[in-house]
Structure 1
Amino acid sequence: MHTELPALLGVGLILLGIFYLGFLSMKIKFPSVILYILFGILLADHLNDNEILHIASEIGIVLLFFLLGMEFSISRLGGIAKRAWPSGLLDVVLSFGISMMIAVGFGMDLFSAFIVGGVAYATSSSITAKLLDDNSRMANSETEFILAILIFEDLVAPVVVAILIGMGSGGSFAANDLLFLLAKITGLALLAIFLGKVVFKKFDHLWEKIEDEDFKTALLVGFSVAYGGLALFLGLSEVLGAFLAGMMLAEIRYLHRVEQTVVPLRDLMLPTFFIYFGTTIELGNGIPMPFLLGSLLVWSMVSKVLLGTIGGRWYGLSKKVSLRAGLSLCARGEFSVVIAATAIGTVKVMAGIYIVVAAFIGMLLFEQAPKITNKVYGKSKPKKKDLKVPGT
């Protein structure tokens, strides 16, 4: 007897689950992202390698970073890059380098330690961006610094993944391979700059002639997904491609009204990313290497707080805002999953547990960051002026 559920029924049940968990998170004041991840873990046996869920999750994460990219013009992004690179290098040393040294100190071989350093390195771009939006902190003074760090990590993380894949395949990762990867990242960015400055900056007249808003929405969604897909085709991150797509289209004037028509689609699709993320985590039996796991979790949080307090000051933020930024960068997520997938055995199981716990602790620190900074530095006096999203 055929008992397999129809795909349409499965999609409907997932959407109903998203509604219930979103409603529950509001009632119990608990981060919805964690509930979505746990939902994915519970349904992992039924949803593992589910192609529909995977595609929906890809669209959700692409739209999130596409809309973020639209907040930054090309000239604005260039200015941020000049200011962020010292903090970005500090992030590599603290979160990647020292985490790798901790793993070596616990007796790991260099390859496994490299994996551990990679897993502990990158802040979850999707979780952090979602929390910034949910907590109405997009207009805060630290948001530009946080996004700059996320962009820097999104450039470094594909390099780490490529090196791991090269090392794990039994061959060596030659200098030529690294140069080729950097060339692809540079080429994708230069293409975005060319299209933004030459093509889309002159798109205003055609844009005004299109009266049907649905066609405009199709253009926005189609271009963001296509450029994210191009990044994947080149072996890079779709998150990076989507951000660059948004940055390109930011050159079009009078885009804000149509931009808002994409927001409901993003809000519908984005929870599926966290559910799919949960289905990829293999918890295994028991907790392997508990002392190493505990040490990594503690250092992971400390390293990002140090990044905020030191790097934020280099970026020009106040002490209070720098601390708030550091506390907001602690969640690990999608890149950690990609890097953990290159591991085997107990290292992979430990990495899965680390990701879940680090995402949970990171989100709690994000939620409590304003309260913690107020206790340390005192409450700021409200200013009598309207705050705007950086770059607008």
Structure 2
Amino acid sequence: MLNDVPTLLGAGLVLLGIFVLGYIGFRTRFPNVILYILFGISIAGLLHENEILHFSSEVAIVLLFFLLGLEFNMKRLGGMAKKIWSSGLLDVILSLVVSMVIAFVFGADWFSALVIAGITYATSSSITAKLLDDKGRMANAETEYVLGILIFEDLVAPILVAIIIALSSGDQFTGVDMLFLIGKIIGLTLLAVILGKTVFMHVEKFLLRIDDEDFKIVLLVGIAVTFGGFAVYLGLSEVLGAFLAGVMLAEIGKIEQVEGTVTPVRDLLLPTFFVYFGTTIELGEGIPYVGMLITLVAWSLIAKILVGIVGGKLYGLPKRVALRAGLSLCARGEFSVVIAGVAAGSIKIFGGIYIIITAFLGMLLFNYAPKITTKIYGKPPKKKKDLRVPTV
């Protein structure tokens, strides 16, 4: 039986598969993330609910956003939050509300329309962040805006998931429940701020005293996983918790020490996240709701591009940079999988097919975003260098 494969054997085969696919991606310059997801889909029956694969994927996504959080100290995060809310609300209207209306027009009932809109709403934080890092675009002008949208969505998505789960179980999601959930988000953020300004202000000196790199890995990965896990315990996203853990440590003077220690562990584990992600996608037999699928895929791409163009302008980005941001936000991923898991029957299969299509198209648009931007706006003007000889 396929499901009788020992957990450890399955994990070893996954690592060997990742090596082969990574090598193929390197030689062909094909995005290896797509290969990892397709690999996961192909072995879903063999490694369904593999405990080691699941655990390593959880740690990987936590470390990915922990390292991203290191780039945002409290001051920078506060400045980003003040500017991102209007663009985030625009994203909710275009990607969630309009998608719900489209599903309703195609004959879905209100609950199914909400589930479908939830599947189409959030950009894949993991895919987008991985591509930003792989393509060397972390220092680009649009990156702060893109990360701001991702974090905003990671605040909205848990609320949406809680509403959908409550409705699917027959319970009511009241205004008190909403306030309680928002209160947990605010509380977790305040805890991160307090710890960052007190305890973690002194971590740098402590790290310098630790000569053994293994102990540093245990400490730093432990901090990231604990805060991410605490967020999950509160019913929030581990992505949000991990990002806030990075923000806490961003207050220390030399974050490159932390980055240098954690990055190799992240790089080792991160491919397992995309493989596991692939194993969770339900395909079923046949494609349900073809007309609605085509319409929502097209609208999903248009909506995110508009979030980049219009929302980026609200954020203060130039037209060229705003378009590049919009083209980088189109992939769907982990939250879509979570919400699709709540659905049943044809809606669940619809969600799996939608996720594969938008993940693939989103990665293609991300890769070609600079070329598309140049095609539309032309090459950016070169900065003039001041060649004058300074006078004494």
Question: Do both proteins adopt the same fold according to a TM-score greater than 0.5, normalized to the shorter chain?
Answer: yes
Range into which the TM-score falls when normalised by the shorter chain: over 0.9
Residue equivalent to 2:62: 62
Contact 2:331–2:359 (8 Å) recurs in 1: yes
Q: Within 2, Cα distance between the matches of 1:67 and 1:80?
A: 17
Residue equivalent to 1:124: 124
Q: 1:68 to 1:383 in 2, by over 3 A?
A: farther
Q: Within 2, Cα distance between the matches of 1:134 and 1:34?
A: 13
Residue equivalent to 1:264: 264
Report how many aligned residue pairs link the two structures: 385
Q: Within 1, Cα distance between the matches of 2:146 and 2:161?
A: 22
Residue 260 (structure 1) shift: 1.2
Could you say what secondary structure the match of 1:18 adopts? helix
Q: Within 2, Cα distance between the matches of 1:8 and 1:286?
A: 33
Contact 2:3–2:47 (8 Å) recurs in 1: no
The residue type paired with residue 197 of structure 1 is K
CA displacement, residues 263-283 of structure 1 (integer Å, 9 cap, x when unaligned): 111011111111111111110
Contact 2:7–2:50 (8 Å) recurs in 1: no
Contact 2:124–2:335 (8 Å) recurs in 1: yes
Q: Within 1, Cα distance between the matches of 2:267 and 2:256?
A: 17
Q: Within 2, Cα distance between the matches of 1:222 and 1:384?
A: 48
Residue 206 (structure 1) shift: 2.5
Moved more, 210-219 or 46-55: 210-219
Contact 1:154–1:239 (8 Å) recurs in 2: yes
Residue 214 (structure 1) shift: 2.3
TM-score by length of 1: 0.96
Residue equivalent to 1:390: none
Q: Within 1, Cα distance between the matches of 2:173 and 2:251?
A: 38
Contact 1:309–1:326 (8 Å) recurs in 2: yes
Contact 2:5–2:46 (8 Å) recurs in 1: no
Residue 383 (structure 1) shift: 4.5
Could you say what secondary structure the match of 2:80 adopts? helix
Residue 74 (structure 1) shift: 1.0
Residue equivalent to 1:80: 80
Residue 262 (structure 1) shift: 1.3
Residue equivalent to 2:294: 294
The residue type paired with residue 347 of structure 1 is I
Residue 384 (structure 1) shift: 8.0
The residue type paired with residue 249 of structure 2 is L
Q: Within 2, Cα distance between the matches of 1:272 and 1:230?
A: 22
Residue equivalent to 2:388: none
Q: Within 1, Cα distance between the matches of 2:273 and 2:97?
A: 29
| Cα RMSD after superposing both structures | 1.6
1:367-378 map, 5 Å: 367-378=367-378
Residue equivalent to 1:48: 48
Q: Within 2, Cα distance between the matches of 1:368 and 1:171?
A: 45
Could you say what secondary structure the match of 2:45 adopts? helix
The residue type paired with residue 113 of structure 1 is A
Unpaired segments ≥5 residues, structure 1:
386-392
Residue 210 in 1 paired to residue 236 in 2?
no
Q: Within 2, Cα distance between the matches of 1:180 and 1:163?
A: 13
Residue equivalent to 2:102: 102
1:152-163 map, 5 Å: 152-163=152-163
Q: Within 2, Cα distance between the matches of 1:194 and 1:117?
A: 36
CA displacement, residues 146-180 of structure 1 (integer Å, 9 cap, x when unaligned): 00000000000000000001111111111111111
Residue 321 (structure 1) shift: 0.6
Q: How many percent of aligned residue pairs carry the same amino acid?
A: 63
Residue 382 (structure 1) shift: 4.5
Contact 2:63–2:242 (8 Å) recurs in 1: yes
Could you say what secondary structure the match of 1:99 adopts? helix
Q: Within 2, Cα distance between the matches of 1:5 and 1:347?
A: 30
Residue 5 (structure 1) shift: 3.5
The residue type paired with residue 111 of structure 2 is F
Moved more, 154-163 or 245-254: 245-254
Moved more, 24-33 or 125-134: 24-33
CA displacement, residues 84-107 of structure 1 (integer Å, 9 cap, x when unaligned): 000000000000000000000001
The residue type paired with residue 117 of structure 2 is G
Residue 261 (structure 1) shift: 2.1
Residue 227 (structure 1) shift: 0.6
Residue 2 (structure 1) shift: 12
The residue type paired with residue 209 of structure 2 is K
Q: Within 1, Cα distance between the matches of 2:40 and 2:262?
A: 25
Contact 2:2–2:46 (8 Å) recurs in 1: no
Residue equivalent to 2:390: none
Residue 51 (structure 1) shift: 1.0
Contact 2:69–2:250 (8 Å) recurs in 1: yes
The residue type paired with residue 138 of structure 1 is M
Contact 1:213–1:258 (8 Å) recurs in 2: no
Q: Within 2, Cα distance between the matches of 1:160 and 1:258?
A: 34
CA displacement, residues 330-373 of structure 1 (integer Å, 9 cap, x when unaligned): 00000000111111111111011000100000000000100000
1:325-336 map, 5 Å: 325-336=325-336
Contact 1:53–1:272 (8 Å) recurs in 2: yes
